[in-house]
Each structure stands twice: as C-alpha cells, then as structure tokens.
Structure 1
Amino acid sequence: METSGEHQAQVQAQVLDAELVRAQYTPATTYLNTASSGLLPARAGDAMRAAIADMTEGRSPDSLFADVEEARAAFARIAGVPVSRVATGGSVAVYSGLIAASLPAGAEVLTAEGDFSSTVNPFHVRGDLKVRAVPLDALPDAVRPGTALVAVSAVQSADGRVADVPALRAATRTHGARLYVDVSQASGWYPVAAHAADADYLASVAFKWLTCPRGAVFFVGPRDPEVFDALTPVFGGWVSGENPWDSCYGPVTEPARSARRFDETQSLVAYTGARQSLALIEELGPEAIHAHDLALADRFRAGLARLGHEPVPSPGSPIVSVPELGSRQADLQRAGIEVSNRAGNLRASFHLYNTPADVDLLLDALSA
C-alpha cells in the first residue's frame, strides 16, 4: 500500500523545474504552436553555433558524429528500448517508405482517415498495396484477417486525438498483423515507452515536443528478429554499414547488425542540437512534462466552455482544436499569440515552456 510520504514524493517528482525551463527557453511571443514546431532550448542553439564555427574554421567533424550517437542513446532511453533498435535519419516519410517496401504486393494496410501524410503516403505510392482508411476510433475493430499492417499516428496532428494503441496491439496480434506507430506528436510529453512496447515499428520527428532542430528523426526497428530481417535497408548509404568508414565506396557489403543499418546520412548539426535538447527533456522528466502540458490544455478547455466553444474531443492530449475559430489565427498572430489554423479549426498546443498566463492570454483574446 502506498504511504502518504510516497505519494507526496511522486507528486513532487512530477513538478516541472520552472527555473530550468526559463533559463533555456526565451520565447518572444506567446508561443502555443508546438504541434507545428517546438522551441529550441538555449543549450541547443549554443551547441549548433559552436559546431558551425568549427565547420567554417576547418576543424574535424568527428565530434558531430559523436553527437549523433549520444542523441540516438537519449532517444532510446526516452522510448524505453535498447539503443541497438534505434536508427537515425531525417524524415518519417523515409521510414514509412522503408516499411512499405517490405510488404508483398497486394498486402492490406489499414490507416486512420486524415492521418498525417508522412505516415501514410508511402503506402499509397507503392501502387500495388491495398490501403484502407477508417475513422480513428474504428481502427481496432477494422483490423481483420488478411490485414498485413496498421499504420497510425499515436496522436493526430490535426486535432490532438489520441489513438488507442493497446487496443490496436491486441487487434493486430489477434489477426497476425504488424503495427507501425508514428509518435511525432507524442514524443516529449507522452510516455512513449508504452507505444514502443506495443509497436512493431515506431518513428518520430524530434522538432516538435522533443524541441530539437528540424532534421533529426528516429526510427525504432522491430524487436522480433524475423520481422527485423524482413526490412531491407533500401535507403542505406555508407553510414548504414557495420563499419561506416569502411563502407564509403561501392555497395555496403556488411550492413550494421543493429538498427544502424536503417540510418540515413544524418544532418550532423541538427543532431548536435538534438543531443542537447534530448538531454534537457530527460533532465526535466517526461512525466513532469506530461502533467504540466495536460494541465494547461485542460485549463484551456475549461475556458473555452465558459466562452461557449466546444473543441474536438481529445482527452489526455495537449493539443486542442476548436472548430470554426481557425479564421482568428491571423489576428492572434498579429497580437503576438502563435497558434495554427488547421482545416478551419484553431489549434493550440501547450508544452513545457508555456504557463497558465499564456492560456489565459489566449482565452482573453478569443473573448474579445
């Protein structure tokens, strides 16, 4: 039985270190648009400027390759997987394409209606796959005998709805299908380790909730050796070799024995920043970030109710999408409040550098 002291310790552990946040993030606007792109922490910007200075002065780039490996290891810890399962690249679409290339002609791929293009488009362009889209809530029940793969974003970009990944895992196991989860809108605030445990494949950009630079992307390869071996590293170059510096010329004769075989040639400066950003996410703690972000989103939802607005239902998500208010985005931007207009909906997204005052400022602007 949990004692009161243990409960108090858990509550304290979930409190975000506001002083550390203020030292690292200095937005010039009321920035409520992390679902589009996160803010860089100061330490990431400093590291990238130093790397660029080294490049302009002709210093060795060896430390930049070390940054890739440190970032890979940090993401592995955040995702709760061995580092040997993590590949690095520059685009989720490439990893969707990697999975699509592994499927036999005629295979059925099940997706959610309106999911993000990078997650689903590579399955469509194959031309010889049967791609079927259903509403997000209907996805688990739509898995059937003959479904080869379910591909879905853990959190929907357009409106913040959260997929029922455990139900999808149960359904795919029942019917012998595989599960591909894009956690681009989840990594950094959601306990991604739960998704990694349920998914056969997992991919994520890092420039949103992980507050990394654009250009850093992570892919978690399958735990099952048979499924792992079924992925052909069709996008692999020299960095995908077991010994990259021995794989610079001609075909790569010895692919890496780990998920590095699925590496793309990295944008090194992006990973220099990502190393610093991911270290900060670990330092702040995903659990504390999760609690902080959801509290702000719930505050916004409560305020919307008082104003007579009803957002798209997205419980447990820091993304709140409000129908018919998308036209307010331009006026809000002129007032120094950054949000998005998505299909006519006003989309606000709340993250670790936001405060209750930011939420109230947006609500005041919407009530004007």
Structure 2
Amino acid sequence: MRISTLSRAVAAEFAPEVTYLNTSSWGLLPRRTIAAVKALADENAAGRRVGVGDFEAVEAARVGFARIVGVHPDRVATGSSVTVHVGLIAASLPPGAEVLCPEGEFTSVISPFAHRGDLSVRYAPLAGLADAVRPSTALVAFSAVQSADGRVADLDSVRAAAAAHGARTLLDCTQAAGWFPLDAGAYDYTVAGGYKYLLCPRGTSFLTVTEEAQSTLPRLFAGWVSAGPPWTSNYGPQQRFAPSARSFDEPPAFLSYHGAQHSLALLAEIGPDALHAHATGLAARLRAGLAELGHPAVSSESAVVAVPGLDDRAPGLVEAKVAVSAPAGNLRISCHLYNTEADVDRVLELLARGVAER
C-alpha cells in the first residue's frame, strides 16, 4: 500500500482531537471498530440477539492476528490479557526450572514466573540476553520491543542461543505486533495484548503455541469454549478439547472481539511493510530532531522513541494536547499508522520552546 493510500485509509478511520503519540500505552480505535462494538451493545440492550455475541467474530480476529504474525490460525488461542497467557506457561514448568528474562522487562512477562515460588528466575541486560542463556535455562521470556524505552531485542541471536541450549522461548509481541514484522512460528510461545498497536478494544489478547509446545501446557483454564465447536460442551466435566491451540481459548469478551476483527482487518489492508516503513520513518525523524535539540534518544530502529531523563516534560506536552507517556524515567513517544510528520514536528517545536522545562 502506497503512503498516499495509507493516508486516505487513516483519514477515513481516525479523527483524534489531540496529537496522539501514545500507542505504547493504548492504540486509537478505528471508526469501523467502534461501529461494530456499538452495534453489538445496542443489540444486547434491545434483546434482539440470541446470545451476547458471535464466535464468528472471534474466529475472524484469530485469523486476522495469525496473518499478521505469520502462523496458521490453529496455533492461535484467544484470551483477555497477556498476564493470563503467561500464567498458563508459568504453570507448565517443573519446580526448579530456570527462566531467563531481560532486566527491566514488563511485569506481565516476568511476574507469573517470579511469584510462582518454586522457579529460578534470572535476569540479564537485554543486549547480553543471548550470551546469558546456559544449559540449565528452561525458558527465555522476553519482549520483541521493550515497553520502557522501545529497544528492539536481537531476536535472531536469542532464538539461536535458546535452541543451542535446548531452552524454549516466550516472546511478548505487545509493543511490536501491528508495526514490526514478526514470525511467531519461530518461538515456542508468543503473547500479545490487542489494545496497543493492534488497535483492538481492551479485553483482547492472543497466544501462539507451536504444535509441539501445545502438549506442554496444562488445562488450567479449561472451560466450555475449550472443546472447539461453540455450545457443545456446556455441562459436566470437560470431556474433549479442540485439537489445536483453540483448546486454550478463554471465554471471549464479545464486545471486544466484535471490534477486534475490524481493527485487524484494517491493519491487513494497509500491510506490514508499509506500516513498518511509515512508523519507523517518523521515529527516525523524531530522533534526529531530538539530537539537534540536545536530547539524544535511546538508540534503536523502533517505532517507539524514548528520551532518558526527560520524563518531566510529559505533563506539559499533555497540557499542550500532545499525548505521550513517561515510563521508567523516559519521555516515551510512539508512532503508528495515524501519525504524521506534522505530529513529530509539533513535539519538537514544543520541546524547543521549553514546554514544561524544569
């Protein structure tokens, strides 16, 4: 998709009232997504629907996500949050298993392991994560793109090191899926929250599991949707499970998934290559401008730009109707499909004028 076509698609779907550069916190909902959620809510309120939603919407979202991350839909489980998916993986490990994570990793990726109580959780700098894998490592759990500062992990090196030592891999794609080219099939497990760069309503998340790794996960959250065909296993103990990652599905938040299918379809229409080029191009422009102002950003070819020590500027930018965030002492500015060069230049202009400078 050409950039001009991308611009037309964005104009049809988004109308933010602020300069929105905070997708790393949550993504804007497209108009088509909002319309689908409202339509289902109206049907539920009026009693016009049998049931509270359609599993066809869940399947459409599953297929849409699978297309984005390059796997077959049978490898995708749907759920409500990354924490629940990671908790399932944490429950699969034997007592004493060693889990390796980057220092400063997002809490949802590490807390289910750290708080189980009988696992050995070890941390290493992100840049040295591959070198820190050792024969005793059972699992390497890390994010493709760091939430705090946008750094992109050396995916190939970590994956190779894990394979060399027989360790499994868990990749959190929450800050990457939607703009960063991914091959989820190269990892034992991937997880992704849908409400950031995938532009889905909150309450959508996705777990991918290789066919081999599916046998390692416990039926910890087995329920009536785990059987596969809807409405066929509603009573009594679960007797059968879907012969795919669908067996790890959670009961869906239908309002969220009715919207999610449309958000994921929009991303597919734009295409990963055009979106990656657009987002990282804006981020590169922003980094160059920040350097000229004497505010060097964290070095990374990422759509997420972080400036250490400039977090105190965030309130002033927000007051000036520029949506940004300030995690871990950084001013964090994230670029996505609905952002423009004008958005980037506005941030640079405000920072040059000393907005909220202390």
Q: TM-score, normalised by structure 1?
A: 0.93
Aligned to 2:240: 254
Residue 51 in 1 paired to residue 51 in 2?
no
Aligned to 1:333: 318
Residue 139 in 1 paired to residue 129 in 2?
yes
- After TM superposition, give the deviation of residue 117 of structure 1 in Å: 0.8
- After TM superposition, give the deviation of residue 15 of structure 1 in Å: 6.3
Identical positions, percent: 52
Structure 2 distance, partners of 1:20, 1:336, is 24
Contact 2:325 2:333 in 1 (8 A): yes
* C-alpha distance 232-16 of structure 1, shift in aligned 2 (>3 A): farther
Alignment of 1:34-113 (within 5 A): 34-58=23-47, 59-61=49-51, 64-113=54-103
Structure 2 distance, partners of 1:223, 1:137, is 30
- After TM superposition, give the deviation of residue 243 of structure 1 in Å: 3.5
**1:310-337 deviation line (CA, Å, top 9, x unaligned):** 1122x22011111121111111111100
Size of the alignment, in residue pairs?
Answer: 352
Residue 345 in 1 paired to residue 334 in 2?
no
AA aligned opposite 1:280? L
Aligned to 2:305: 320
Structure 1 distance, partners of 2:309, 2:52, is 51
Structure 2 distance, partners of 1:107, 1:36, is 32
Structure 2 distance, partners of 1:343, 1:242, is 42
Contact 2:19 2:343 in 1 (8 A): yes
Aligned to 1:162: 152
- After TM superposition, give the deviation of residue 363 of structure 1 in Å: 0.3
What SS does the corresponding residue of 1:163 show, helix, strand or coil? Answer: coil
Aligned to 2:219: 233
Gaps of 5+ in 2: 354-358
- After TM superposition, give the deviation of residue 251 of structure 1 in Å: 1.6
Contact 1:14 1:287 in 2 (8 A): no
Aligned to 2:231: 245
**1:78-135 deviation line (CA, Å, top 9, x unaligned):** 1111111100000111111111111110000000011111111100111000000111
- After TM superposition, give the deviation of residue 64 of structure 1 in Å: 2.4
- After TM superposition, give the deviation of residue 197 of structure 1 in Å: 3.0
Structure 2 distance, partners of 1:154, 1:343, is 18
Structure 2 distance, partners of 1:296, 1:68, is 33
Q: Which moved more, 1:54-63 or 1:126-135?
A: 54-63
Alignment of 1:194-343 (within 5 A): 196-224=184-212, 227-313=213-299, 315-343=300-328
Q: Which moved more, 1:33-42 or 1:60-69?
A: 60-69
- After TM superposition, give the deviation of residue 246 of structure 1 in Å: 2.3
AA aligned opposite 2:145? V
Alignment of 1:24-35 (within 5 A): 24-35=13-24
- After TM superposition, give the deviation of residue 20 of structure 1 in Å: 1.1
Q: TM-score, normalised by structure 2?
A: 0.96
Contact 1:184 1:203 in 2 (8 A): yes
Structure 2 distance, partners of 1:66, 1:303, is 46
Structure 1 distance, partners of 2:277, 2:229, is 42
CA root-mean-square deviation? 1.3
